[in-house]
A and B are shown apart, each in its own frame.
Chain A
């Protein structure tokens, strides 16, 4: 696949938040790796952040992953926030019923510029 770029994953702590920054493309082949990184990062933090600013492309597998994390966070009582980054990714969230200003984009640390309503 010509466009697909290599997936990169970076996990770090920012205050009481665990941030997983993803680079590259999130498609069916990459979704599992991102989900594993999020599971591993969850630990004792109160906020789990998925930073998608360096993601070039995402398909429904990425959205499925976000919804899955969102539901687990709700069930386990911690916060899950997404920093969507590019317009293309924002558009994807919009199509999936997460318009700008949706609570999904709130709660990421202020250091992560580009996050909505942080």
Chain B
């Protein structure tokens, strides 16, 4: 008779089928299966799985015995069947055929046992009948089931063998499913653990585009509630949560991202994007990388995207670059309005969509710079601001920041905020048209000083929300801009002072001298504010005229003072005394009285007429010679003598020459002969050659100016003064007054 009644067999099969359908782990599955067959179909059962390599692994054992059950189960669990036993489990596996031992003999047990100890174990089971069933699934043997009866008094027959084979089909399936599921979940777990713990955000898309996996870093980076949220939305839906731009501010769509490009089979290199979360306005710099994964048949299976958060790095880099470039702009020019406009342009679109700079101008705040990527919008706002000047007393915005010196940040411009801001209808309309999201205003101020203006940054199109980092960067920018503006202003004032001073050092116009014609040239060196250096003067003295050119050693304020002193002292002394040497001695005494060594070189000439002839009495003090141009020749005139201010007695000597009509006397300062050329200085000889064929005073000056312009290499380093005196025909009274546009014109320019 069979070990299991007919009715119970169906229940057993159904129960085994349920186990096969479940998703139990392998160990649980084995326990459930063994629990089904013992004691219903066997007193003793063992279940083994077979790896693809052929190795047996005992999954469980079950014994139904009146005593020693646990020990027997443990011993059976440890038991390793003899691989080449002619009877039993190994035999069933190798032959892939079930075996039925209707009555188990000691000879059978000896054949099965691997040792005496094993034999004793088998004996202790008190087996009467045994069944050994190979378990087959998906075309291969995946395990084996051993069943035995004895203590219950049952024994197996052919009928039990057939039932066992049917049951084994279900058991094999359950076992195989559990094994597969365990392998897969093991892999998944390992993969998920790896991905989950990655700091980088990982998104996996199917070939069709749907996101099938996202780790928590990705959810965080993309501002999603959970990783599931990423897999529940379509990529397009996700994309709509953000405004995405490339580094140049160009808006990007889903199709531009590397994952999409990889999906289209395109070469998808890494792409750095500025990702602005629409809901919050938070900005992140994300580096997208995508790798396609292909199936064995070559078709695209998955696209793995790794998204790296480079926000900190990128912001630091942007800030550094902005400040560096702004610094360069701010120091490059003294035209601060132009400079501020350039700085404003540097901030868009990297830092903001809008940048405006306003400066205090009396009671108004004048907009001096405005930048946005769209020039049309700039024009629109400029137009508005031209019609609506901002008054310093205005209650809010830049006016308030300039008054208080406190920076202001409005991260989120809401409708209520606008409504409550006491704006005119037109202002409100403009604000809505521009769709500003976020705004910050920092004062343009140098430490402890009243702000001179304000710098405003605002976002609109990018949807970015400005924050404390932006505020700090803008404040630094504002501080630097303020310093640059102050410098430019100071410099402007200094230039104005310099120009005024310079003018005071030169005669406003050359006076009319009967019988003589004059022309002059004055070129101030380098930057305008370095006054000092050369002077010239022409004035009437008893019995004639005095003409003087002088050069003060040094530059700057001290030199300017010395120049002024020299000119007026010489003029006063000359007018009183009428004699050039006496006038020089007077100036020498004045210079000697100053505490520091004050040296002045001078070339002075007294022009006088006697019986219709003109004479020049010329004195040099530390000065190069004057030139006498006469009928196509040019010769130096003057006796060299010490500087004024060097010694108590200089021993200055006058040289007297007769100036016939058409002849010229050229006085100059060393700026002329020291002018730097490509490989030498202008020099006395070149000057003499330049003057040889001069036809008159104006021509002489024009020749010198032209020669210097052609010769000079690089910027002029010293002042240059030239006075040419020409003896005109008897009775002709003429003076060439210098002025702008003349061939011989007078600097300062």
Interface, chain A (partner B; CB < 8 A): 1-4, 27-28, 57, 59-61, 63-64, 67-68, 71, 91, 94-99
> By the criterion CB–CB under 8 Å, are A67 and B646 in contact?
yes
B679: contacting residue among A3, A57, A61, A96, CB under 8 A: A3
| Chain A residues closer than 8 Å to B677, beta-carbon distance | 2-3
**Closest-CB distance, A46 to chain B (whole angstroms):** 23
B side interface size, CB within 8 A: 34
Within the complex, what minimum Cβ distance (angstroms) separates A102 from chain B?
A: 10
Q: Known pairs A2-B713, A95-B620, A95-B624; list 10 more (Cβ under 8 Å).
A: A3-B679, A3-B680, A59-B674, A60-B670, A63-B553, A64-B597, A96-B640, A96-B642, A97-B642, A98-B642
Grouping DSSP codes into helix (H, G, I), strand (E, B) and loop, the B interface class, with mixed when no group exceeds half, is loop
Closest Cβ of chain B to A31, distance in Å, is 9
Task: For the complex, give the distance between the alpha carbons of A2 and B679 in Å.
Answer: 7
Min CB distance, B710 to chain A, in Å? 14
- Contact A97 B650, beta carbon cutoff 8 Å: yes
4 closest Cβ contacts across the A-B interface?
A: A97-B642, A2-B713, A64-B553, A60-B553
> Are A2 and B676 interface neighbours, CB within 8 A?
yes
Q: B residues within 8 Å of A by Cβ?
A: 551, 553-555, 597, 599, 601, 620-625, 640-643, 646, 650-651, 670, 674, 676-681, 684, 713-715, 717-718
Please count the residue pairs between chain A and chain B whose beta carbons lie under 8 angstroms apart in the complex: 74
CA gap between A87 and B553 in the complex, in Å: 22
**B599 engages A67 (CB within 8 Å):** yes
Task: For A59, list chain B residues within 8 Å (CB).
Answer: 670, 674, 718
Flag if A3 contacts B646 (CB, 8 Å): no
What are 24 contact pairs spanning A and B, CB under 8 A? A1-B714, A3-B677, A3-B713, A27-B717, A28-B555, A57-B681, A59-B674, A60-B601, A60-B622, A61-B554, A63-B643, A64-B597, A67-B597, A67-B646, A68-B597, A95-B620, A95-B622, A95-B624, A95-B625, A97-B622, A97-B640, A97-B642, A97-B643, A97-B651
B513 to chain A: closest CB distance in Å?
Answer: 28
* A77-B679 Cα distance, complex, nearest whole Å: 42
Contact yes or no, B674 A1, CB < 8 A: no
Contact residue among A3, A67, A95 (Cβ-Cβ distance under 8 Å from B640): A95
Query: In the complex, which residues of chain A have a beta carbon less than 8 angstroms from the beta carbon of B621?
Result: 97
- The reply to whether B717 and A1 form a contact with Cβ atoms under 8 Å apart is yes
Give Cα A4–Cα B680 distance, bound, in whole angstroms. Answer: 10
Chain A residues, CB < 8 A from B623:
95
Residues A3 and B676 in contact in the complex (CB < 8 Å), given A63-B622, A99-B640: yes
Find out whether the CB atom of B678 lies under 8 angstroms from the CB atom of A2: yes
- Report the minimal beta-carbon distance from B102 to chain A, rounded to whole angstroms: 116
Which interface residue of A68, A95, A98 has the most chain B CB atoms within 10 A? A95
Q: Are A64 and B717 in contact (CB under 8 A)?
A: no
In the bound complex, CA of A72 to CA of B712 (Å)? 37
Residue of B with least CB distance to A4: B676
**Also in contact, A63 and B599, with CB within 8 A (given A1-B717, A94-B640):** yes
Task: State whether A97 and B641 are in contact (beta carbons under 8 Å apart), knowing that A60-B553, A64-B554, A67-B597 are contacts in the complex.
Answer: yes
Residue of A nearest to B625 (CB): A95
**Minimum C-beta distance from A85 to chain B (A):** 16
Which residues does chain A contribute within 8 Å of B676, judged by CB atoms? 1-4
CB distance from A96 to the nearest CB of B (A): 5
Which residue of chain B lies nearest to A68 when distances are taken between CB atoms in the complex?
B597
A67 and B713 form a contact (CB under 8 A): no
B622 near A96 with CB under 8 A, answer yes
Residues of B within 8 A of A99 (CB): 640
B645 nearest CB neighbor, chain A only: A67
Assess the A1–B670 pair: CB atoms within 8 A. no
A97: chain B residues at CB < 8 Å are 621-622, 640-643, 646, 650-651
* Bound Cα distance A110, B623 (Å): 31
Q: Which residue of B has the minimal Cβ distance to A3?
A: B676
- Complex Cα distance, B639 from A99, in Å, reads 11
Q: How far is the CA of A107 from the CA of B1 in the complex (A)?
A: 145
In the complex, what distance in Å separates the CA atom of A16 from the CA atom of B684?
Answer: 39
Question: In the bound complex, how far is the Cα of B717 from the Cα of A4, in angstroms?
Answer: 11
Most chain B Cβ neighbours within 10 Å, of A57, A60, A91: A60
Residues on B with C-beta less than 8 A from A2 are: 676-679, 713-714
Tell me, rounded to whole Å, the shortest Cβ–Cβ distance linking A10 to chain B.
Answer: 24
Tell me, in angstroms, the Cα distance from A60 to B718 when the chains sit together: 11
B residues less than 8 Å from A28 (CB atoms): 554-555
Contacts of B551 in A (CB 8 A): 60
A24 to chain B, nearest CB (A): 14
